[in-house]
Chains A and B, each alone.
Chain A
Amino acid sequence: MVKKFFERFYVGLIILFLYAPIIILILLSFNSSKSRAKWGGFTLRWYRELFKNESIMNALYTTLIIAVLSALIATIIGTAAAIAINSMKKTPRTIMIAITNIPMLNADIVTGISLMLLFVALKFTLGFTSVLISHITFNIPYVILSVMPKLKQLNPHTYEAALDLGATPLYAFFKVILPDIFPGVLTGFFLAFTMSLDDFVITHFTKGPQINTLSTKIYTEVRKGIKPEIYALSTLMFVTVLLLLIIINRKNDKNANKNTIISKI
């Protein structure tokens, strides 16, 4: 029992370690002083002002648009690529997989710099498009990664059977293959979405002046002190995700199905 107590205690400590900064940030969102270093009393002011703050709302909008678009495009390109890679012979397949691993294992700073150098060399103005392209680039591997296992589980004979029964390859793809790999595609999409939402370093190097994502916006504010509205926004986002996950988890627990999006991530 002592052992059990120690185990609980240990897990509790780690959870405290992981969540302490988050509690602080949530508290700061209710702090009426503009300075992070001073507690000025409780207020809900920042939650009201958040929606009036154009530059933060713009950053949120840009972040979401880039996340959705890059995840979507990466999902399409990545799913197609996964199917193709899956039907390749061993050598080309190994090469493809090796190259796909590069953006995942490489340091963010190197990926960001190399893309920026490319855009500048091509005289391509840094801005929305350059960030979008970069995000698609680091998102595709996640989609491939999520779809490949599903493809491996696929029974090869159903597709052939569909063809034998007179289906065109395209029809057979949509009716036979896609439904089976769809959970993988969906996981890939959400994963890519999260990656894009979370990225700072690569965006930092490939963005132009006219756009800011939430991450880059926060980084410019680190020096002069973060605007309290940012704390309010992050609190809202965090609580939203928390609630969503609890709901999904409840639902899945009821269905006795542990395959939530989370366990996949």
Chain B
Amino acid sequence: MKLRNVLKTRTPKSPVHKSASGPNMPKAKWLSFPYIVWMIGFIIIPLVVIFYYGLTTSDSTFTLNNIALVMDPINLKALKQALELSLVSTVICLLLAYPLAMILNKSKMNSNSFIVMIIILPMWMNFLLRTIAWQNILEKTGIINTILNFFKLPTVNIINTPAAIILGMVYNFLPFMVLPIYNVLIKIDQDVINAARDLGANGMQTFLKIILPLSLPGVISGITMVFVPSLTTFVISTILGGNKIVLIGNVIEQQFRVGNWHAGSGLSLVLMIFILISMAILSKYDKEGSSLW
């Protein structure tokens, strides 16, 4: 789904000419003209429009009621639940991804690209279908329970519970945690680690004092990339939550479905606050290490 995120920590492998930022082309500024027009038309103005809808009523008078809707107990619960589930998913992704990235980094086979390929290849199957397939796996009569039954073990009830949604989030967004961390790890200079070892650091110390701090930028990008889409999803909760669990994404989607555009926009603005916070954290770390560019 968000293959885009994978890119974010990529940095150029070849040396950068530090002297200048590319060739000096005085007329080049004109080249940005189409993009600036596009940006204003389809990035800036739409945001203005969503602010307008979020802050007005249907007869165009100013109001804060749409934003205040988030304090409605039902919506507040949806937001709380979305925050909880996405935080848990992010932590699980991190716990799964970090060791994986380290193992992949250590293996240093001649097939780095092959490993990366294996991780992102599933994304070429439509993510809606992959999520639906989890229904088949988790259902009461699904694959897991069939296997448990075969071994006469007690069955588990996962589908339509928060656990199923967390699983769906982890499944869909795990690659976005693995790849940024992996990308940072492969760039850590082996000499630094060797130096630490030579100076008498044991494995744990090397990890805590050298590897972990150096990989932090990758971890931070990974966290944002998993957290934002998890927080705002409505598809995963619809497919795996049986409509019993309502997340803030579902509330917004439903508002738009039944035509309450002002309410939906107001709630989107609230959601944007959380996204902005994540963005701010990300950009703070970007300056220091692995950059967006």
Contact = CB atoms under 8 A, between A and B. Distances in A.
Interface of B: 1-4, 6-8, 10-12, 14-17, 19-36, 38-39, 42-47, 49-50, 53, 96, 99-100, 103-104, 106, 110-114, 116-137, 139, 141, 143, 171, 174-175, 224, 228-229, 231-232, 234-235, 238-239, 249, 252-253, 256, 261, 264-265, 268, 271-272, 275, 278-279, 282, 292-293
Contacts of A36: 132, 135-136
Task: Tell which of A100, A156, A241 has the most Cβ of chain B within 10 Å.
Answer: A156
Contact of B256 (A205, A218, A264): A205
B32 A96 contact: yes
Given A28-B133, A78-B35, A265-B3, 14 more contacts: A25-B125, A25-B129, A37-B136, A81-B34, A83-B22, A102-B43, A105-B278, A108-B229, A115-B46, A117-B53, A156-B23, A191-B3, A218-B129, A234-B129
Interface stretch (A40-48, A50-58, A64-72, A142-150): A142-150
A129 B258 CA distance: 24
User: Taking chain A's interface residues, is the majority helix, strand, or loop, or is none over half, making it mixed?
Assistant: helix
B117 A245 contact: yes
B272 A110 contact: yes
A21 B25 contact: no
A247 interface: no
Contacts of A110: 50, 232, 268, 271-272, 275
A106 B127 CA distance: 19
A151 interface: yes
A114 B7 contact: no
Given A113-B264, A156-B17, A22 B31 contact: no
Interface residues of A, number: 101
Given A87-B23, A133-B42, A219 B113 contact: no
Which A-B residue pairs are the 10 nearest by beta carbons? A84-B32, A21-B133, A81-B35, A114-B46, A107-B232, A149-B12, A159-B23, A80-B31, A263-B113, A84-B31
